Amino acid sequence: MRISLSRRMSSLLYLARPLALTFVGILFLSLGATYLSIWFYRSIPLPEVFETVTLQFLPHLQRGLLFVLLGLAVLAAGMWQLSTMVIIPLHDQRSADGELVLGYHRSQGRPRIAVLSGGAGMLILSSLGEHVERLTCITPVQDAVEYYYRASGLFNFQNVYYVVPTPVAARVQAELDNGTVINVMRVDHDPNLARQHVAHLMLIPDGMDKDAATQPSNGYQQSATDQRLASAPASNTKKLPLTRLARETLRDADAILLGPGSLFESILPNLLIDELREAIQQSTAIKIYICNLMTEPGLTTGFSVSDHIRQIKRYGGFVPDYVLVNVQRIDTEVAQLYAAANQAPVYLDPDAYEETTILTGQDAAQRHVIVEGSVVIEADLASSVVQYTASLGSPGESRAVRVLRHDPQKLTATILKLLRQV
């Protein structure tokens, strides 16, 4: 994690009082040692080498200033090392008898986390807010930010903030593997496209071809406008400036979370903004991708964990440091419901293993695999919930179905555990 001079020194604020007492104690000890040295020097004959060691050949003023400067240099070096080694006890981990349980976090305090996710994903991660200094969500480029402000006011999230990536409105076009060009938000609403996946993603700033229709024609045949959008050069995305708040969020972040959320609808579009992509590439923050639980019809059909990572590398120019993958196996009934909707669980393919690595934590060392350059961590991240759905044809009728969703508590615990380990 990035540790600036100010933030590194601020970690010592936790120890301001004991350090002040220590300094006063050292001062009294030094005075006592000085008086004893003077008595010893005047009372007992000493070899000539002591005159050289104590700088007797210099005037008293120069001698005193030299020792003060040397002492300050040694003190500064010690404080610098102390700022990286000190650990602070967690105040909320106490045993039944009131004694402090051994549990610690890094001295630089609670981390600052930046999130690039979808709307539902940001709500899921909101429980992280009470455990971090600041959780700043950079909203998807095509979403209206008012939605997030309303959600924040409704749930009163702690330490959770929302910022837009760019002040310029834009839409996201997807070219599917069968040549169809369509607004990415409409792909999963068409059952005829369920077996496709995105081959190319484009960000079209508002104002470009504004007189032309942005939706594909009936039957999803490419019109002249669709073909022009599909061949639009990547330089069009340079018209989208990064907001100051988004830039500062990425600059100051200790960790950057990608997901949970739709890969092509919510996460990758923001990476098409040049300044945002470059800010993430240059950031020293820990980058964590929370992989989708299920494939998305028409978007990531047939995708494995490695396919998701490759798309982030393709559009973002980087690979996440860590990838969180749900290891929980869903029951047959739920799996059949998803299969009927052309969705399948996203699991880690054993054939994708490149090598293994070991992370040491408070509990025990754990072995994980490396895929596409990312450390993949399998954990129980999801829960099965009941959701009521209605069709457009019969809006008054609804039915209960079991669906798989990222569990806020499980996800929060896994992320915090990972941040403590790295």
What CATH number is attached to the domain comprising 292? 3.40.50.10680
- Say if CB 220 and CB 81 are below 8 A apart: no
Domain presence at residue 280: yes
Domain presence at residue 386: no
Instruction: Give 281-285 contacts, CB < 8 A, sequence gap 24+.
Output: 281/316, 281/317, 281/318, 283/2, 283/250, 283/251, 283/253, 283/256, 284/1, 284/2, 285/1, 285/2, 285/114, 285/250, 285/253, 285/254, 285/255, 285/256
Q: Looking at the structure, tell me whether residues 207 and 270 fall in a common domain.
A: yes
Q: Where are the beta strands (DSSP E) in 177-227?
A: 181-183, 198-205
Residue-wise pLDDT tens digits, 211-248: 333 333 333 333 333 343 334 333 334 468 999 999 99
Q: How many CB atoms lie within 10 A of CB 279?
A: 20
- Average pLDDT in the chain: 78
pLDDT greater at residue 53 or residue 279: 279
Domain presence at residue 370: yes
Q: Looking at the structure, tell me whether residues 51 and 189 fall in a common domain.
A: no
Q: Looking at the structure, tell me whether residues 86 and 137 fall in a common domain.
A: no
Domain presence at residue 57: yes
Last residue within a domain, chosen from 106, 133, 159 = 106
Cis peptide before 167 (omega within 30 of 0): no
What's the domain count of the chain? 2
Residue 273's Cβ-count burial label (10 Å; 0-12, 13-18, 19+) is buried
Q: Looking at the structure, tell me whether residues 79 and 207 fall in a common domain.
A: no
Domain presence at residue 176: yes
Residue-wise pLDDT tens digits, 34-66: 777 777 777 777 677 767 767 777 787 777 788
Last residue within a domain, chosen from 106, 136, 170 = 106
| DSSP code at position 264 | I
- Say if CB 172 and CB 201 are below 8 A apart: yes
Rounded-to-integer distance, Cα 91 and Cα 103, Å: 9
Tokens standing for 195?
């077996």
Domain presence at residue 40: yes
For residue 290, what are the domain limits? 112-381+408-421
Looking at 95-104, 278-287, 368-377, 406-415, which range is the least confident one? 95-104
- Say if CB 297 and CB 317 are below 8 A apart: no
Helix or strand (DSSP H, E) at 69: helix 60-85
Residue-wise pLDDT tens digits, 99-130: 433 344 444 579 999 999 988 899 899 989 99
Tokens standing for 255?
């960790």
- Say if CB 301 and CB 341 are below 8 A apart: no
Does this model's pTM top 0.75? no
Q: Where are the beta strands (DSSP E) in 24-169?
A: 87-89, 104-106, 112-116, 134-138, 160-163
Tell me which residue of 197, 174, 196 sits closest to 186, measured CA to CA: 174
Residue-wise pLDDT tens digits, 65-103: 887 788 778 877 776 666 555 444 444 444 344 443 334
Domain presence at residue 400: no
